[in-house]
Every structure is written in C-alpha cells, then in structure tokens.
Amino acid sequence: MSLNLITNTTAAVSSEGTTPYLDCGLPEGQCDILRTLLKVMYSFSIIAVMITLGCIFLLRKYGFFHERIFCHLLLCNLFSSFAIISNEGHAETEGSTRCISQAFFVQFFDIGQFMWIAALTVFVFNHVVRNVDTAKYEWLYTAVCWIVPLFIACLPFTTNDYGLAETAYCWIKGTDSGDKWRFGIYWVPVLAGLVVICIAFGFMIWRAKRVMRHNAATDAQLVSTQQYLVDEYLKPMTVYASVFVFIHFLQFINRIQNLVGSPILGLVAFHMFWMASYGFVLCTFFVIYNRKKEFTLQKFRDGIAHYKIRCQTCKSPGGIKEYEHEEATATPTNSLKRKSNLDQPTLQSVEEQREADSGIEPSDSHTGLDTISLDSLKSQQ
C-alpha cells in the first residue's frame, strides 16, 4: 500500500527547480528514479489487467464463483493502479480535491484487494477442507467485500486525515490521528489477515496431501475428487494469495527498516517494483494456469462467434436470454456428476441400438420406453 519513507512532510524541488515533490528521504535524483519506476510498472500492470479481463470476458471464464472472485480482485487492482498514477505526490496538491480523492480511492481499492483475497481463502477452505460449497452465498461475499472497504475508507474523513503522506502519492497523513488510522484500519488488520491466510493455505495443502495419501489404495473416487479440487482450486488460488502475502510482507519489512534507519534505495525500489507489478504478476500466473486448455485460437474464435450471436439476438424482437442458472452456479462436484451422467447410456439410446442390431427400423415413437428397464432390454438381446 503506502511507501512510508520519512516522518515529516517536507517538499523537495526537482532538477528543473519548478515542480515541488514530497521528499522521499533519499539523495537528490533517486526519488525521481523511484517515481519513474512506479509509473512504468503500474502502467504495465494496467495494460496486463485490462487485456486479461478482456480475455476472461471473451472466453467466458466467469462461470464458476472462484473465477468471479478473481475478476473482482483484478478490478480492485486496476482501479487502485489508476488511482496511484493519477497524481505523483506534488506538494502543491495538499488539501486539493484531487489529492484527497486519490488518497480515498487508494485506501478503498487496496483494502478491497485484501478483502477479496480473504474471500478467496474462505471459499477455497470451505470447498477443500469442509467439502461445503458456499457459492450460493455469493451475494454475501460481494456485499461484504465491497461495503466493508467503503466503510473503512470513509473513516479518515471524520478527522480530515487524507492528504500528503510522505509517499509517492496521497494517502493518510502522518499526523497523530493519521498514524492511528494507519495502524487501526490498515497495518494491524492486514498483518493479522496475512498471518491467517498463510496458516489457512498451509493447512489446506497439508490436509489435501494427507487425504490423497491415506486413501490412495482404498477410495480412488475420493482421491480423484480431491485431486480435482487441488488442481482447479488450491494450486492457482494459493499462488494468487502467496503473491499478495509476499508483496505486503515486503511492505512491512520496508516500513520497519524506515523506523530504525534511513531509507535504502535498493530495498525501497525492490518493494516498489513488486507492489506496482502485482496486477501484472496475477495476470501472468492466470495465463500460465490456463494457457493449454483455454487460450487456444479455436476458443477465441468460439468466443467471438458467441458474442456475435448474442448481439444479433439483442436486436431481435425476442431479446436476449441469460445464461442457464446451472452454469453460473457450477461447482466441481456438479461438474463431475454431469460428466458421469453423460457417460451413462439413456433408455432411448439402448432401444435404438437394439433395433439397429436386429435390422428393425428405428421407430418414431418410443411409447412406454420409460417403463422398460436396462436389464429387460439386455435379456431381450
């Protein structure tokens, strides 16, 4: 989130001597390097996130709830990146609407990212450990993960503590009341949340391996289902959460170092690089996990054709029909059940095959077919 580099709000003059910036506590010229790094990496992240969201929309990779959680996470990262690069921390913007707006949106969307990572953890934990699908509570997830950050982001308004914050952008001021807000609504809850997330994913990985190891020889179906959950849920979600945890732990290390000594350019630049690259890293892992089964030329062609048909349907008098509810609420368990049902022959298909084998033309009507059992058909053959 924030890059706290000094403990006062002095302003420095750039090499041109015309544009005052916040002093980052580093030798002259190094602050400009950090600002350039921040702008470049956030720009890369914005481009990557927008392309990824476009691919998700085109390929319709939002049928499962965990995929929609990932979309929320990308949206929060996108708007947070836009907010950060919208203002470079000009000292003359103190108290301006632009600075206060930037500070509010940075706080809102950064807490939003944390909330959606927490939601991802809760959802995967219930699926893998408790074998409970909580996708039916999507409305509750959505309400909590957007309303809670909004409420938290509004709290500093009560003490007028949004403004210049000794960072590369505007955030919560470094006043006495501002420091309380920083610890109360960001540092403490986020640090505690990171610890809980690490413990939760560590436990899920340990339990999944334990279940598959103990049931490898006795319950192949349970092992297969558990392996499906691990591959489709646990592995990619663990990577997304791990990147978030890694970047924020870098932030805490940088903050502690600033409290005990002068800022170190290498540590600050390393932290800023990963902080600004979070969206880009998320998109990279998303492509890696889906490149073989989703990112094919045929899938893109099918997606374009699908939306062409939908656009044509929109123009028709009948309007457009929404997706089936089953697709929107699909779960791994339901997917496995549907797959197994497709493998089982229906009574009608068995009757048609029997008639074909005996040289009888298939009848147009199968009256009473629903009362014939598969065993009786086999006996007749």
Confidence of residue 109 (pLDDT cuts 50, 70, 90): very high
Q: What H or E segment, with its residue span, contains residue 170?
A: strand 170-172
- Three-state DSSP at 25 gives coil
Of residues 118 and 370, the one with the higher pLDDT is 118
Q: What are phi and psi of 336, to 5 degrees?
A: -65, -40
Instruction: State the distance between the two ends of the chain, measured CA to CA, in whole angstroms.
Output: 72
Amino acid at 64: F
Predicted pLDDT at 265: 81
Predicted pLDDT at 113: 95
Instruction: Lowest mean pLDDT of 162-166, 253-257, 374-378, name the range.
Output: 374-378
Digit-coded pLDDT (tens) for 7-35: 333 344 334 333 344 456 667 677 778 88
CA 304 → CA 54, 57, 286, 307, 323, distances in Å? 12, 10, 21, 5, 16
Q: Could you tell me the pTM of the whole model?
A: 0.74
Alpha helices by DSSP H, 176-234: 176-182, 188-214, 220-229
Token code pair at residue 306: 């699908």
Most confident of 45-49, 214-218, 363-367: 45-49
Q: What is the DSSP letter of 88?
A: -
Pairing status of strand 20-22 against strand 11-13:
antiparallel
Predicted pLDDT at 135: 92
Q: Is 71 exposed, middle or buried (0-12, 13-18, 19+ CB in 10 A)?
A: middle
CA 290 → CA 70, 71, 119, 220, 379, distances in Å? 13, 15, 22, 26, 47
Predicted pLDDT at 90: 56
Interval 47-59 mean pLDDT: 91
Amino acid at 364: D
Confidence of residue 148 (pLDDT cuts 50, 70, 90): very high
What is the C-alpha separation between 274 and 244, in angstroms, rounded? 10
* β partners of residue 20: 13
Most confident of 253-267, 271-285, 325-339: 271-285
Domain ranges of the chain: 11-290
Q: What H or E segment, with its residue span, contains residue 75?
A: helix 65-85
Predicted pLDDT at 81: 93
Digit-coded pLDDT (tens) for 201-240: 999 989 888 888 888 777 888 888 888 888 878 888 888 8
Residue 340 has pLDDT above 60, yes or no: no
Average pLDDT score over the chain: 76
User: DSSP for 245-303?
Assistant: HHHHHHHHHHHHHHHHS---HHHHHHHHHHHHTHHHHHHHHHHHHHTTTT--HHHHHHH
Instruction: Lowest mean pLDDT of 5-9, 313-317, 348-352, name the range.
Output: 5-9
Please choose, from the candidates 28, 4, 35, 11, the residue with its C-alpha nearest in 3D space to the C-alpha of residue 166.
4
Please choose, from the candidates 254, 187, 277, 253, the residue with its C-alpha nearest in 3D space to the C-alpha of residue 26.
254
Digit-coded pLDDT (tens) for 240-276: 888 888 988 888 888 788 778 777 888 888 888 888 9
Confidence of residue 89 (pLDDT cuts 50, 70, 90): low
Predicted pLDDT at 337: 45
Predicted pLDDT at 315: 60
Q: What H or E segment, with its residue span, contains residue 162?
A: strand 162-164
CA 366 → CA 50, 134, 343, 351, 362, distances in Å? 53, 41, 22, 9, 9
- Three-state DSSP at 28 gives coil
Of residues 306 and 342, the one with the higher pLDDT is 306
List the CATH code of the domain at 11-290: 1.20.1070.10
Confidence of residue 307 (pLDDT cuts 50, 70, 90): confident
